[in-house]
Structure formats: C-alpha cells, structure tokens
Amino acid sequence: MIQIIISIDPSTQFLFEIITKLKSYSNKCNVYEIHPNDESYSKTFDIISSLERNSRILFLGHGQSNQLYGGECLDSFPKKAFIKLNEMSVFKDQHLFLLACDSAALIKSSFRNSKMSKSIGFGGLPTSMEEVEKDKKLSSEGISEQTIEDFKNEIVYTVSNAISVHYQDFNKLSDYLTLLLDQRINNAVLVKKDRNLADLLYKMRHEMVLY
C-alpha cells in the first residue's frame, strides 16, 4: 500500500496524474489531501503521525530545505509550513519519497533526528515559469513554457513508473528512476531536440539523493 500525501494548490494539479497512473498500474493507494485551511493541515499531520511503521509514503507538493508546504489558495490562504525541519521525526521508521523542491537538503538536514528507514529527495524541480525566473542560472537559459510542460510530463512518467515497479525497495527504486531519467535525457536530446529539457532532467537526476 502506498500512502500518498498531496498539497492542494493550482501548481500541483499535474501531480494528480502520478496518482492516476499508479492506480492504473494496479497499485493500492491511500490518498490524503492537504487543503488550504488550518483544519486540513492539522488533520493530515495527525494522519501521518498515526501511519503504521515501515509504511511507504509519497509526498507530492512544494518544499524548501527547512520545511514542506501544505495547500494554498492564491486569493485567501497563502501556503505555509506543513512539516518543519524539527518535525521531520513524524516520519520515523518510514520509507519516504519527497517529490518537492529542495527535499534532498531537507532530508540531509533532518536525517539524524528523523530516523527514517529510507528516504529519497530532490533538488530544485522548476515546474512553472515563475520558478524559472527566480533562478538566476535557469532564467538565462531561455527555457520556454513548452519545455516546462514537457518537464512536468517527464516527472509524471518517470516517477509513476519507478514507484509502481519498485516502491517496496527504495534502493531499487532509486536505481530504476535513475535509469528512466537517463533514457528520457537521451530522448530529449535525440528526439525532441530540446537541450533545456535534457538539462532539467539531468539536474533532477544529479540532485536526487537516497538516504
């Protein structure tokens, strides 16, 4: 059983495709949504706290090196910290896959205190032009809206396939995701002729960590 936590905001809607694909591959999933209100934040945190030890948890949303974010409504509820660095022990003895920006740094900073069994995280995962423009290096590369859309599709494809096949064994999961990303990098160069897409996929692969 895969325990899926997803933050609800306009920029994470494409991540529901991962859930759809996992279910289509006959994976059993429990899905918990963090909506943009304090009650949902608190309720979902309590759910995570009560999960059986050695669960396989997939977090889909936004993050920084010191926290994971919950849901957001642009007009009425700005996203805020859902789980802070000093609260990562809520994942003690769990297998945690964090599909969120800067989650690799968060895992590294919290690993000793959180005592997770296994964890996988990433560096920056720019999935909007706003995020590209905030990054000085990326903003100078001429990345297009189409490249960002293609990158989002590649995230869905590689993550859903890797988790579907190897969610029980995080070592094999990491290796298989690396293999899939290598394949998609080659496809971006040789078929799509999009060097920027290849660079984003390489960045995802290179900055992924397994603890």
Average pLDDT over residues 96-122: 95
The pLDDT of residue 26: 85
Structure tokens at 188: 């971006």
The pLDDT of residue 132: 83
Give the three-class secondary structure for 6. Answer: strand
Average pLDDT over residues 76-83: 95
Residue 112 pLDDT > 90, yes or no? no
Q: 25 or 206: whose pLDDT is higher?
A: 206
Q: Are 73 and 58 in contact (CB under 8 A)?
A: no
Q: If you search the block for the tokens 């945690």, which residue do you land on?
A: 96
Structure tokens at 42: 């608190």
The pLDDT of residue 148: 95
Strands in 71-171 per DSSP E: 81-84, 95-99, 118-121
Q: Among the listed ranges 19-28, 134-143, 166-175, 176-185, which one has the minimum average pLDDT value?
A: 134-143
Q: What are phi and psi of 95, to 5 degrees?
A: -100, 115
Residues 6+ apart with CB under 8 A from 1: 28, 29, 30, 55, 56
Q: How confident is the model at residue 142 (pLDDT cuts 50, 70, 90)?
A: confident
**Could you tell me the pTM of the whole model?**
0.94
Structure tokens at 142: 């001429």
What sign does the dihedral 174-186-152-127 (CA atoms) show? Answer: positive
The pLDDT of residue 139: 67
Q: What is the DSSP string of 150-191?
A: HHHHHHHHHHHHHHHHHTT-HHHHHHHHHHHHHHHHHHHHHT
Q: Are 210 and 176 in contact (CB under 8 A)?
A: no
Task: List, for residues 156-181, the tens digit of each pLDDT value.
Answer: 999 999 999 999 999 999 999 999 99
Structure tokens at 54: 């050695």
